[in-house]
Structure 1
Amino acid sequence: MTLTHQDELDGLKAIGRIVANTMQAMAKAMQPGMTTRELDDIGRALLDQAGAISAPQATYDFPGATCISVNEDIAHGIPGPRILATGDLVNIDVSASKNGYYADTGATFRLGPVAPALDQLCRDGKRAMQIGIAEVSHNKPLANIGNAIGRFARSRGYTLIRNLASHGVGRALHEYPEEIATWPNHDKRRIHRGLVLTVEPFLSRGAHFANQARDGWTLYADPTAPVVQYEHTIVATDKGPIIVTLPG
């Protein structure tokens, strides 16, 4: 989507707040012994209360209102009977629509204390996203996003998942530009004023790709290694990025 009017930005910010608030509320509600289905039920109720529609469910018939991925599962995890435990890394990805506008956000949360290396991975994963967001501005190359993230990852000894990309969003969950690399690349396309997109690098301590599990949805790291993901929906302007998926 390319924004051209203030009312479009207002609509995008409205759904952005909803998905951000939903994700944060789910994270606060997490506790050991809870199943991922119970956590998803909280997210579903919050989206319903806000008048929003789960985007993966409506668009792809995903079997859950939100995606919840635990430890070795790094994306598109199906909510179900899995029981959360202290020390888990839990990725919560919430995308939804309201009044024709879509927003997408996600983050990896620690359930209680985790090993120092995993704690650092989480902090660096968030930093990698912020570095990518800083490259979103009118007339900049799309490649700058992945190249900046790549420099940061390399300097810290991390790898990046290279088949899970950022994407356009706004009037649909996935739209032009369909794939935006969050790893070093040579994409010749340029960002234009008003472009709506996600920035969502998957930072890892050794994995390079995501493989699909037998359930047809859940993705896991290859080779096996810890992975974190942080994601915002962004609007490009002449003065830099506007983050619309902020709680409020």
Structure 2
Amino acid sequence: MTITSQEELEALRRIGGIVATVLRDMGRALEPGMTTRELDDIGRAGLAAHGARSAPELAYGFPGATCISVNREIAHGVPGERRIAAGDLVNIDVSAELDGFFGDTGASFAVPPVAPRVTKLCRDGKRAMWEGIGAVRPGARLAEIGERIEKFADKGGYTLIRNLASHGVGRALHEEPETIPTWADRSERRRLHEGMVFTIEPFLSCGASEAQDTDDGWTLIADRPAPTVQYEHSLVVTRNGPLILTVA
């Protein structure tokens, strides 16, 4: 989506604030012993309180209000009866629709106690996302986002999941610009322009490099049993740089 009016921007900021608030509240509620369905119920109630609808349910018939992925599961995890345990690494992805506009955000949460390398991975996962965000400005090469993220990952000895990309968002959950790489891609020739709306969501890992399908048709797992995190913001390209939409 490319924003054409102040009204569109305000609508995107409203739904961005809602998904950010729901993600924050789910992260605060996360504790050992609760099921992923119970956690999802908190997300569903939060969306409903704001009049918003779950985007994955609306767009794809996903069996949950939010995506909750645990440990080797890294994306699109289906909420269910699995109980969260101390030491788990839990990714929560919240996306929703309000008045025809979509917002998308996500984050990984380490349930204490966790190994020091997992704490560091979570910190660096956020930093990787912000490295990509720092490349956003009108006229910039879209490829610079992935180049900055990969440079950061390489310096820290990390790998990146290379078949899960960022994407356009706004009037739909996934739209143009499609498949925005969060790794260096020499074939990428597109440029950013003012008003573009999209996500930046690198998957930073301690050794995995690809997401693989599972039997449930939704959940994606890492190709290696290596800790992997994802952090995601939706943003708009402005003449002054990136404007983050998903802020609580």
Q: TM-score, normalised to structure 2's length?
A: 0.99
Partner of 1:154 in structure 2? 154
Alignment partner of 1:175 is 2:170: no
Partner of 1:191 in structure 2? 192
Partner of 1:144 in structure 2? 144
One-letter amino acid matched to 1:29: A
Please state whether the residue corresponding to 2:43 is helix, strand or coil. Answer: helix
Structure 2 CA distance for aligned equivalents of residues 221 and 163 of structure 1: 11
Q: 1:113: Cα distance to partner?
A: 2.1
Following TM superposition, where does structure 1 have runs of at least 4 consecutive aligned residues deviating by more than 3 angstroms?
none
RMSD: 0.6
Partner of 2:105 in structure 1? 105
Q: 1:223: Cα distance to partner?
A: 2.2
Partner of 1:44 in structure 2? 44
Structure 1 CA distance for aligned equivalents of residues 130 and 122 of structure 2: 13
Give deviations 1:70-125, integer Å, cap 9, x for gaps.
11100000000000011111100000010111010000011122100000000000
Please, which runs of 5 or more residues in structure 2 have no aligned partner? Answer: none
Alignment partner of 1:238 is 2:239: yes
Please state whether the residue corresponding to 2:56 is helix, strand or coil. Answer: helix
Q: 1:127: Cα distance to partner?
A: 0.1
User: Identical aligned pairs, as a percentage?
Assistant: 61
Please, which runs of 5 or more residues in structure 1 have no aligned partner? Answer: none
Structural mapping, 1:14-163, within 5 Å: 14-163=14-163
Q: TM-score, normalised to structure 1's length?
A: 0.99
Partner of 1:214 in structure 2? 215
Matched residue count:
247
Q: 1:224: Cα distance to partner?
A: 2.2
One-letter amino acid matched to 2:223: D
Structure 2 CA distance for aligned equivalents of residues 26 and 178 of structure 1: 28
Partner of 1:204 in structure 2? 205
One-letter amino acid matched to 1:238: R
